């Protein structure tokens, strides 16, 4: 006999592989033919499923080894290093566009109606009566999508055609390992605001062995490679090693300081100074910035969805009317054929020209937006959703580069008894000049001058800023450090620091006469107004941390030998360190209400014995094996006591033009504004206040850090007891709340007049947008200028991009592109409102036009004993839906109920429009009732 033995069952396949084995006996058992046929069919379908799964399977990301100067050794294939905002390619364009069109019930319905005319029994007119309008609609739609797609292609090609050799003050095009820099220290600063939204500059260090190479060409002659982990989303971690192979085949492995990412340069960051050279490890879609963005999707406006639902309702009315006509006919003859003919005769209840008229209207709206001289540079990149601009309820905005210019300006110096603002800085400059001159002054003025002199000197010394000078002579573009005895002009001087606040402070001291001209690891030099050089030796530096919220430095004056401990930090950290005073808390509150970033500056004079004692204890604590950080902090805290309060400084992050009135207008229009930023909590809170996103009289609830479910529950309960207050929350706490109490948190947050989310990653920004869409059902808009905003922009119902200084990634990925944040007011209040009202009225008119002809057909059939005979045929029907009723369509497209100035003056008009959510449905029902009443009235009059 023949045995069927199951041998293998594949995970991805649903069939069995059988082994046929013949025994020693001569008899054979026949297998039924039906079983064989069934097995073949199952086998074929299972193989096809397996092949489909193979084709759909994404490329598995792997770790890679990159050899320096030896591309032939690299086995890993890199994806194209290109930005792609296109939705289709040359093969998927036509199928993709047709799918997007026929997934709407309106177009699918008319495709079925047109195909029915090939059936002789159902044919009621000429084929072109149905196919010509449908073909025209599809042609216009395909042409519009082709134009939009070609524009995206041209924009992407322009960005992807940029060539790079050396990177200096440019956007890094790919993920790299930092090998070499022109700076003698082997380090440079980069700006990451386009990647993570943080305004602080990041210090990057080149790989030590490549930085020490004598010449640049030696990079291609050494035998070395970089091992990098597989591409991943996390922008704050990296695992890899740099290995140099010696001539005797011994491997020397050099770690890449993985914990702090000191050797990595991610794409979309900007080199702030000097020239850097690196080896590329990730390109294109494998870079961190691209992996944190989503693929562009086809966005459909809410008006289109509402019209699609209304079309389904009209179809039910069409079926009901056809059934009534057949019933009144008495089901005579082949009634089912008459039923289908009535469905075709009354098909104009659902007008095929609705889509093309709306598309033509949207094209006109886009043209009006781009030709508006009041918002120059505005580009409509998605021409299918201009009505969405008129129905927004939530606006989610980035901070850095969107609301702010990311330029810090020194605004105020407060000494306790006197305060100096931008209009009195000349007085400070005169005091500094007097302090370093030999001329005598009255005793009172000398006292004031000495206080100002001490405060300015403390600000000029307590920092981590390094001056650099761009060489004019060389063509290599290399940056050289200043030497004291060299004559470097002020125009060539630039400052490097991890924080733009510190750069602003040092630039201010330069403007008042005390200039930082040189700094190295052991000393720094200041230049007085008279040109004299003051040298200070750096004894100790205590860097700023998020936990301590302060930084300090101990210096020794070369001329006098005095040792001074300077410290600056946040008021909450410095209030317990400085000597008692009665003005610190009050003045810090006043500056905070103005939106200024406040720092408290203090000093403490040390004797030689005090410093030697501190140094011995400090060095001993650093040598401890157990609890080293705690012991070091305890020793430093022993020095941070009874310090002399010198001054308060106020630095402002410059806002974009007209940010405050624009936000006020949006709030009056009923739009709730959420600020999502990757920056620090303190910085985000200051900008929220200075931009008036949060009013001065409004309470702010700062959501304390939570890590567990219990902590999140307690903090949510505390937040629930507060009313009408703005919410400030960090990304980590937000993630915990969404994990355990998603619905409760979103419900509470939506009740707040303003929400600020800080330390948000790009994926978190997009997740917040989707949460609002899911839980509220309202329309959302996202606006940003950096690559870290692309995911948020693409996830929102309407995405607006601002052309940034370092790149156009957000602008290219957005539906609408503007040049300044203030333009969003006119874009929404004028163009968004008009587009929505015009499209709604246009949809009502087109459907009303179809109801007229369908009502006349119903009356005609009723008069002639309910015969399924068409009243009009041929070009008359085609012309009625296009040429004959063209002028009312054009008038509705150009209609406006109020002037643009009035719409901007009274943003409440926009608020009323967003409340009128059922504009199309309610309006159409009223038009239908009036139409039926008028036709019945005409019939009664004619009968009499």
Distance from C-alpha of 407 to C-alpha of 199, rounded to nearest angstrom: 9
597 is in an annotated binding site: yes
Per-residue three-class SS string for 592-647: HHCCCEEEEEEEEEECHHHHHHHHHHHHHHHCCCCCHHHHHHHHHHHHCCCEEEEE
Q: What is the pLDDT of residues 802-827, one digit of tens each?
A: 986 656 778 888 999 999 999 999 99
Per-residue pLDDT at 12 exceeds 50: no
Task: Provide the total of helices (H) and of strands (E) in the chain, helices listed first.
Answer: 31, 33
Distance from C-alpha of 578 to C-alpha of 571, rounded to nearest angstrom: 10
What are φ and ψ of residue 721, in 5° steps?
-80, -10
Per-residue pLDDT at 561 exceeds 60: yes
Per-residue pLDDT at 656 exceeds 80: yes
834 is in an annotated binding site: no
Name the burial class of residue 79, with classes exposed (0-12), middle (13-18) and buried (19+) by CB atoms within 10 angstroms of its CB.
Answer: middle
Report the catalytic residues: 398
789 is in an annotated binding site: yes
The residue to which tokens 């020194």 are assigned: 410
- The model's confidence at residue 37, banded by pLDDT at 50, 70 and 90, is very low
Per-residue pLDDT at 36 exceeds 80: no
| Residue 924 three-state SS | helix
Cβ atoms 593, 696 nearer than 8 A: yes
* Most confident by average pLDDT, 295-299, 310-314, 436-440, 528-532: 528-532
Helix (H) or strand (E) holding 857: helix 833-863
Tokens of 287: 């870079």
Helix (H) or strand (E) holding 471: none
732 is in an annotated binding site: no
Q: What is the mean pLDDT of residues 722-739?
A: 91
Tokens of 553: 């430095």
Q: What is the mean pLDDT of residues 394-417?
A: 89
598 is in an annotated binding site: no
Per-residue pLDDT at 153 exceeds 60: yes
Q: What is the pLDDT of residues 242-287, one digit of tens each?
A: 887 766 555 555 555 444 467 888 887 888 777 788 888 888 888 8
Tokens of 32: 């039924």
Distance from C-alpha of 17 to C-alpha of 21, rounded to nearest angstrom: 13
Q: What is the mean pLDDT of residues 750-754?
A: 92
Alpha helices in 464-600 (DSSP H): 500-511, 571-574, 584-593
Per-residue pLDDT at 701 exceeds 60: yes
Per-residue pLDDT at 30 exceeds 50: no
- The model's confidence at residue 25, banded by pLDDT at 50, 70 and 90, is very low
- The model's confidence at residue 458, banded by pLDDT at 50, 70 and 90, is very high
- Side-chain-side CA neighbours of 859 within 13 Å: the count stands at 18
CB neighbour list of residue 709: distance below 8 Å, 6 or more residues apart:
736, 740
Distance from C-alpha of 751 to C-alpha of 733, rounded to nearest angstrom: 19
Per-residue pLDDT at 679 exceeds 50: yes
785 is in an annotated binding site: yes
% of residues, the chain, pLDDT over 70: 81
pLDDT of 670 reads: 92
Which of residues 104 and 482 earns the better pLDDT score?
Answer: 104
CB neighbour list of residue 924: distance below 8 Å, 6 or more residues apart:
310, 843, 844, 847, 848
Per-residue pLDDT at 10 exceeds 60: no
Q: For residue 784, which of 803, 756, 768 has the smallest C-alpha distance? A: 803
Cβ atoms 844, 924 nearer than 8 A: yes
Lowest mean pLDDT among 104-113, 470-479, 901-910: 470-479
Topology (CATH) of 409-652: Calcium-transporting ATPase, cytoplasmic domain N (3.40.1110)
399 is in an annotated binding site: yes
pLDDT of 3 reads: 26
Lowest mean pLDDT among 233-237, 531-535, 594-598, 861-865: 233-237
Cβ atoms 525, 484 nearer than 8 A: yes
pLDDT of 180 reads: 85
Distance from C-alpha of 194 to C-alpha of 757, rounded to nearest angstrom: 17
In residues, how long is the chain? 944
pLDDT of 718 reads: 92
The residue to which tokens 């001539």 are assigned: 247
Tokens of 717: 């309960």
833 is in an annotated binding site: no
Q: What is the mean pLDDT of residues 156-184?
A: 72
Distance from C-alpha of 564 to C-alpha of 566, rounded to nearest angstrom: 6
- The model's confidence at residue 489, banded by pLDDT at 50, 70 and 90, is low
The residue to which tokens 């879609």 are assigned: 285
527 is in an annotated binding site: no
pLDDT of 73 reads: 66
Tokens of 825: 């007011």
pLDDT of 607 reads: 93
pLDDT of 480 reads: 41
End-to-end CA distance of the chain: 93
pLDDT of 495 reads: 86
Mean pLDDT of the chain: 79
pLDDT of 168 reads: 61
pLDDT of 624 reads: 80
Q: What is the pTM of this model?
A: 0.74
Per-residue pLDDT at 201 exceeds 60: yes
Topology (CATH) of 392-403+656-818: Rossmann fold (3.40.50)
Q: What is the pLDDT of residues 873-919, one digit of tens each?
A: 767 777 777 677 778 878 888 888 899 999 999 999 998 877 664 44
- The model's confidence at residue 375, banded by pLDDT at 50, 70 and 90, is very high
- Cα angle, residue 792 at apex, residues 791 and 797 outer, rounded to 5°: 115
- The model's confidence at residue 602, banded by pLDDT at 50, 70 and 90, is very high
Q: Per-domain residue ranges for the chain?
A: 2-56, 93-147+304-378+829-916, 175-291, 392-403+656-818, 409-652
How far from 160 is each of 82, 152, 156, 174, CA to CA, in Å? 5, 12, 6, 12
Cβ atoms 700, 694 nearer than 8 A: yes
What does DSSP assign to residue 907? T
Distance from C-alpha of 352 to C-alpha of 877, rounded to nearest angstrom: 12
Tokens of 6: 């199951």
Q: What is the mean pLDDT of residues 660-668?
A: 94
How far from 124 is each of 2, 119, 335, 632, 929, CA to CA, in Å? 64, 10, 16, 93, 28
243 is in an annotated binding site: no
| Residue 559 three-state SS | coil
568 is in an annotated binding site: yes
Cβ atoms 674, 754 nearer than 8 A: yes
pLDDT of 538 reads: 93
pLDDT of 283 reads: 86
Distance from C-alpha of 653 to C-alpha of 407, rounded to nearest angstrom: 6
């Amino acid at each position: 006999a023949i045995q069927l033995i199951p041998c293998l069952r594949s995970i991805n396949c649903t069939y069995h592989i059988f082994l046929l084995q013949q025994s020693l006996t001569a008899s054979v058992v026949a297998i039924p033919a039906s079983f064989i046929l069934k097995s073949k069919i199952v086998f074929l379908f299972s193989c096809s499923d397996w092949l489909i799964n193979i084709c759909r399977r994404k490329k598995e990301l792997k770790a890679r080894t990159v050899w320096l100067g030896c591309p032939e050794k690299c086995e890993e294939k890199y994806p194209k290093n290109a930005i792609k905002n296109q939705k289709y390619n040359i093969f998927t364009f036509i199928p993709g566009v047709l799918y997007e069109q026929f997934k709407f019930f309106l177009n699918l319905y008319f495709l079925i109606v047109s195909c029915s005319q090939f059936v002789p029994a159902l044919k009621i007119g000429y084929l072109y009566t149905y196919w010509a309008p449908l073909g025209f609609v599809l042609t216009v739609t395909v042409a519009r999508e082709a134009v939009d797609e070609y524009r995206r292609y041209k924009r992407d090609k322009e960005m992807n055609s940029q060539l790079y050799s050396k990177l200096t003050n440019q956007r890094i095009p790919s993920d790299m390992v930092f090998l070499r820099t022109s700076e003698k220290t082997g380090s440079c600063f980069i700006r990451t605001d386009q990647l993570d939204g943080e305004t602080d500059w990041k210090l990057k260090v080149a790989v030590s062995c490549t930085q020490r190479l004598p010449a640049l060409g030696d990079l291609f002659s050494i035998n070395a490679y970089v091992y990098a982990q597989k591409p991943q989303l996390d922008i704050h971690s990296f695992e890899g090693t740099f290995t140099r192979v010696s001539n005797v085949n011994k491997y020397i492995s050099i770690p890449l300081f993985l914990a702090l990412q000191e050797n990595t340069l991610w794409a979309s960051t900007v080199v702030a100074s000097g020239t850097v050279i690196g080896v590329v490890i990730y390109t294109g879609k494998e870079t961190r910035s691209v992996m944190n963005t989503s693929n562009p999707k086809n966005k459909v406006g809410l008006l289109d969805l509402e019209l699609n639902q209304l079309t389904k309702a009209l179809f039910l009315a069409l079926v009901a009317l056809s059934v009534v006509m057949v019933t009144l006919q008495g089901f005579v003859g082949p009634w089912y054929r008459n039923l289908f003919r009535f469905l075709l005769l009354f098909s104009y209840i659902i007008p095929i020209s609705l889509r093309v008229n709306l598309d033509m209207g949207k094209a006109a709206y886009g043209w009006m937006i781009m030709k508006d001289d009041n918002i120059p540079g505005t580009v409509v990149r998605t021409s299918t959703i201009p009505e969405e601009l008129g129905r927004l309820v939530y606006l989610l905005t980035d901070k850095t580069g969107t609301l702010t210019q990311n330029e810090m300006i020194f605004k105020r110096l407060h000494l306790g008894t006197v305060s100096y603002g931008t209009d009195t800085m000349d007085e400070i400059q005169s005091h500094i000049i007097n302090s370093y001159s030999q001329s005598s002054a009255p005793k009172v003025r000398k006292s004031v001058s000495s206080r100002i002199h001490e405060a300015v000197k403390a600000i000029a010394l307590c920092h981590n800023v390094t001056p650099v000078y761009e060489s004019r002579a060389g063509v290599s573009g290399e940056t050289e450090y200043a030497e004291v005895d060299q004559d470097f002009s002020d125009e060539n001087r630039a400052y490097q620091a991890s924080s733009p606040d510190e750069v602003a402070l040092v630039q201010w001291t330069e403007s008042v006469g005390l200039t930082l001209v040189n700094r190295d690891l052991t000393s720094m030099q200041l230049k007085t107004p008279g040109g004299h050089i003051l040298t200070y030796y750096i004894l100790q530096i205590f860097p700023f941390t998020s936990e301590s919220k302060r930084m300090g430095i101990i210096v020794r004056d070369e001329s006098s030998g005095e040792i001074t401990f300077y410290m600056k930090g946040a008021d909450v950290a410095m209030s317990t360190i400085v000597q008692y005073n009665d003005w610190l808390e009050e003045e810090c509150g006043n500056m905070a209400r103005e939106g200024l970033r406040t720092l408290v500056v203090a000093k403490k004079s040390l004797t030689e014995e005090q410093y030697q004692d501190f140094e011995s204890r400090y060095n001993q604590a650093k040598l401890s094996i157990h609890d080293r950080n705690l012991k070091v902090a305890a020793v430093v805290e022993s020095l941070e006591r009874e310090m002399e309060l010198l001054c308060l400084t106020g630095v402002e992050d410059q806002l974009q033009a007209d940010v405050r009135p624009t936000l006020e207008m949006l709030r009056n229009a009923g739009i709730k504004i959420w600020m999502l930023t990757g920056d620090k909590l303190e910085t985000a809170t200051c900008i929220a206040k200075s931009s008036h996103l949060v009013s001065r009289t409004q309470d702010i609830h700062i959501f304390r850090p939570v890590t567990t479910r219990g902590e999140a529950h307690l903090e949510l309960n505390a937040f629930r007891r507060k009313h009408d207050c703005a919410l400030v929350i960090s990304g980590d706490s937000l993630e915990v709340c969404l994990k355990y109490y998603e619905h409760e948190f979103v419900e509470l947050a939506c009740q707040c007049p303003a929400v600020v989310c800080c330390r948000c990653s790009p994926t978190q920004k997009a997740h917040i947008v989707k949460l609002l869409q899911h839980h509220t059902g309202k329309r959302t808009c996202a606006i940003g200028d950096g690559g870290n905003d692309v995911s948020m922009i693409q996830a929102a119902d309407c995405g607006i991009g601002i052309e940034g200084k370092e790149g156009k990634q957000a602008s290219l990925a957005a539906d609408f592109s503007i040049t300044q944040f203030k333009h969003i007011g006119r874009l929404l209040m004028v163009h968004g409102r008009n587009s929505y009202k015009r499209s709604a009225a246009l949809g009502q008119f087109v459907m009303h036009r179809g109801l007229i002809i369908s009502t006349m057909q119903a009356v005609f059939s009723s008069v002639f004993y309910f015969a399924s005979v068409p009243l009009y045929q041929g070009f008359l029907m085609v012309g009625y839906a296009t040429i004959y009723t063209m002028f009312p369509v054009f008038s509705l497209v150009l209609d406006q109920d109020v002037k643009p100035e009035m719409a901007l003056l009274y943003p409440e008009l926009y608020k009323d429009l967003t409340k009128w959510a059922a504009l199309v449905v309610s309006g159409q029902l009223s038009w239908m009732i009036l139409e039926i009443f008028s036709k019945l009235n005409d019939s009664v009059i004619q009968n009499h």
